[in-house]
Amino acid sequence: QKEVEQDPGPLSVPEGAIVSLNCTYSNSAFQYFMWYRQYSRKGPELLMYTYSSGNKEDGRFTAQVDKSSKYISLFIRDSQPSDSATYLCAMSANYGQNFVFGPGTRLSVLP
């Protein structure tokens, strides 16, 4: 079993839909969680960062962490074609430890 799992997709949704992207993990020590967006032929860029459990909202994006279930989610409201990209979750156990990335979910928002 991989340490961090994501459904690779592709996930296709119509413009304006609410998108739910998820990661599950096995290491209960993880407490720093990040979501990265990666456009084709580009490097990943940070979207959201959360520490421990709870929700965090930034514009159309909401990140949720449920440590008891070892499950994190990224919700995208009013999805746009420009949101079409691969979304990577990443997590770390402690302050200085390197992040473990999920394999990514490819999202396609259709106009």
d(CA 105, CA 11): 7
* Closest CB to other proteins among residues 35, 84: 35
Would you count residue 96 as binding other proteins (CB under 8 A)? yes
| Strand, coil or helix: 83 | helix
Contact at 8 Å (CB) between 47 and 37?
yes
| 44 lines the binding site for other proteins (CB under 8 A) | yes
Are 17 and 79 spatial neighbours (Cβ–Cβ below 8 Å)? yes
DSSP 60-73: TEEEEEETTTTEEE
> Looking at 15-23, 67-75, 76-84, 88-96, which segment touches other proteins (CB under 8 A)?
88-96
* Nearer CB in complex with other proteins: 76/88: 88
Closest separation in Å from C-beta 80 to other proteins: 21
Judged by the rule CB under 8 A, the positions of this chain that interact with other proteins are: 32, 41-46, 49, 51, 88, 90, 92, 94-104
